[in-house]
Structure 1
Amino acid sequence: MNPRHEITSRQNERVKHAAKLRDARQRTKQGRFIIDGVREIGRALDAGIGLAEVFLCPQMCSSPAAQELLSRLDHSGAVVAEVTGDVFEKLAFGGRSDGVVVVANTPDRNIDSLELPANALVVVLERLEKPGNVGAILRSADGVGVDAVIVVDPQTDLFNPNTIRASVGTVFSRQIYTATTEQTLARLRHWGVCLFAARPEAELIYTEIDFSQSTAIVLGSEATGLSSAWQQADVKGIRLPMKGIADSLNVSTTAAVLLYEARRQRE
């Protein structure tokens, strides 16, 4: 167990470096990211995410879940610092009051390490720009039990605090990868995965599709849709029926509908 240090100043260098991790450029530069919340930190530990630093405010860590987590963190190998409420306020994201924040080392999520089982179910997210949508989709993917999520040409980094929060920590799954569109298409074709791209103008309704075969469901940015790479002959366009004036649903809602239909068919 590492000894705990005490930090009382918001100007402490470790505190300042950790607070900078709210910025994507700093996450890239430092090769680290920040995690708030007892549940999210616990799931990071469960997934084997390497922790570098722990900042905890003892008077805020009163819940049984927080106390259990602190015991795990004391044995994590990370540097543990007790901070004042004022210092913790500088570190915490979105008004979180769980009393603990950690700095983690960014894991490698390169698609080169991806291996798919037979009859796989895969989600591909191309150029999604809103971290909350990415996180919500990861949560649905976890609930359905997909075999892999491939985040393609992302417009927001995978460990954005909003992504972590919206995913309730499921972003730490080992089955989430990043890649380019070209890499993703090449891999999925090599494995013989059937490709289904969600597009509002598609002719096929999603309930007309056989998702029980090896399947990749591809979703794109709400602003710009999918790139032309997903309009090739071996990619089938699918859509949800829309009876009102809107032509599509939020991308995270669309993902949930499609994924649970795939799971229904497979069961």
Structure 2
Amino acid sequence: MKKPLEITSFSNEKLKYISGLKEKKNREKSNTFFIEGFREIQRAKASEKLEFEYILTCPACYLGENEEELISSIDAKTILVPKQIFEKISYRDRPDGLIATASMPDFSFTQNQDLSGEPILVIEGVEKPGNLGTILRTAEGAGFQTVFVADPRLDLFNPNVIRSSTGTLFTLDVRQGEISELYPLLKEAGYRTIAVTPEAKSLYWDGNLKGKVALVFGSEQYGLSQYARTQSDEYISLPMKGVADSLNLAMSAGILMYEVLRQNR
């Protein structure tokens, strides 16, 4: 492995640049983003979707035995820093000694998007990075391969999305674009769009979720857009027995995705 560049001062411009990628404005300016964690970097690398730039390392923070093997497998400039500097740059309370930077891949969906026929998840207007990351992690667990993030109110490359998804942002086929462009694409491919909304009279366990279905969820605060409310093929809801009138978005999506898995088992 090529000898890393050792830096011992946080005032170094490279370290300021890497740390700055935690902020959206700096990601947009450089078209690069920040990936922290062994598992997240490993999955990003395995996806073959990214072009890496830097790997920031701190052996004093390592939690396992395979960090050096992962570092050597990635074509990137390696920087070695002491623990106190790494902890200052880290996004986590307990960093594991690895941070990478990479060019942003293009996650836009196109009119010739290849759809496999497997169930699809559509999240419209999502606002909270942690929710989106948890949804992606659950989607991967439930066997969903494609997730469309329509009209998002957040940055897909927010470190919280990556952390909460445990790197499944890279292993799934995640696409983003406008909901009005997505629905015609799904209809042409033979998908039924099933909107999940509290107003629906049909409960989810009575719905037919077999075959080519696209589950559609709205934002945490506003729910589904008027377009999704009027253009969806079917509507279902989750029962609410207590005083709360809705569930957390990630939990609702998880329940429905596993119901799809159950019905299609």
- TM-score range relative to shorter protein: over 0.9
2-structure distance, mates of 1:152, 1:2: 42
Match of 2:61 in 1: 60
Map of 1:176-187 to 2, 5 A cutoff?
A: 176-187=174-185
Q: CA RMSD in A?
A: 1.4
C-alpha displacement at 1:176, in angstroms?
0.7
Does the CA contact (< 8 Å) of 2:54 and 2:76 recur in 1?
Answer: yes
SS of residue in 2 equivalent to 1:204:
coil
Per the TM alignment, residue 187 of structure 1 is displaced from its structure 2 partner at its CA by 1.0
Please, which runs of 5 or more residues in structure 1 have no aligned partner? Answer: none
SS of residue matched to 1:124: strand
Match of 1:132 among 113, 130, 133: 130
1:4 is matched with 4
Please, which moves more after superposition, 124-133 or 33-42?
Answer: 33-42
Number of the residue aligned with 2:85:
87
1-side partners of 2:250 and 2:80: how far apart?
38
C-alpha displacement at 1:234, in angstroms?
Answer: 4.3
SS of the equivalent of 1:129 reads coil
Q: CA deviation at 1:50?
A: 2.2
Query: CA deviation digits over 1:166-210, x for unaligned, max 9?
Result: 111111124111111111112111112101111111111111111
Distance in 2 (alpha carbons) for counterparts of 1:249 and 1:234: 21
1:61, distance to aligned residue in structure 2 (A): 2.3
8 A Cα contact 1:2 1:75, kept in partner: no
CA distance in 2, matches of 1:224, 1:249: 13
Amino acid corresponding to residue 25 of structure 1 in structure 2: K
8 A contact 1:128–1:220 mirrored in 2? yes
> Is contact 2:53-2:101 (8 Å) kept?
yes
Matched with 2:260 is 262
- Offset at residue 236 of structure 1 (A): 1.5
Are the counterparts in 2 of residues 10 and 86 from structure 1 also a CA contact under 8 Å? no
Q: How far apart, in 2, do the equivalents of 1:243 and 1:187 lie?
A: 37
Deviates more, 1:108-117 or 1:138-147: 108-117
Corresponding residue number in structure 2 for 1:114: 113
Q: Distance in 1 between matches of 2:47 and 2:251?
A: 26
Shift of 1:22: 0.9
Unaligned runs of 5+ in 2: none
Tell me the CA shift for residue 97 of structure 1.
Answer: 2.2
TM-score by length of 1: 0.94
CA distance in 1, matches of 2:96, 2:138: 25
Q: Shift of the alpha carbon at 1:105?
A: 1.4
Question: Aligned ranges for residues 1-267 of structure 1 at < 5 Å?
Answer: 1-48=1-48, 49-61=50-62, 63-64=64-65, 68-112=66-110, 114-118=113-117, 120-232=118-230, 234-267=232-265
Give the direction of change, closer, same or farther, for the CA distance of 1:214–1:85 in structure 2 (3 Å limit).
same
Tell me which amino acid in the other structure corresponds to 2:115: L
Q: Tell whether the 8 Å contact from 1:135 to 1:165 is kept in structure 2 after alignment.
A: yes
> Which amino acid is the alignment partner of residue 116 of structure 2?
P
Q: Once the 2 structures are TM-superposed, how far is the Cα of residue 62 of structure 1 from its aligned partner? A: 5.3
Contact 1:2/1:77 (8 A) holds in 2: no
Which stretch of the first structure deviates more once superposed, 91-100 or 203-212?
A: 91-100
The runs of at least 4 aligned residues of structure 1 exceeding 3 Å deviation read none
Between stretches 128-137 and 29-38, larger displacement belongs to 29-38
1:77 positional shift: 1.2
Cα distance, 1:58 vs structure 2: 2.1
Distance in 2 (CA, whole Å) between partners of 1:230 and 1:179 is 14
Per-residue CA deviation, residues 118-168 of structure 1 (Å, 9 max, x unaligned), is 3x2000011110000001100110001113100011111112111111111
TM-score, normalised to structure 2's length?
0.95
Distance 2:168 2:232 in 1: 31
Separation in structure 2 between the aligned mates of residue 5 and residue 239 of structure 1, nearest angstrom: 55
Quote the offset at 1:71 in angstroms: 1.8
> CA distance change for structure 1 residues 153 and 249 in 2, over 3 Å: closer, same or farther?
same
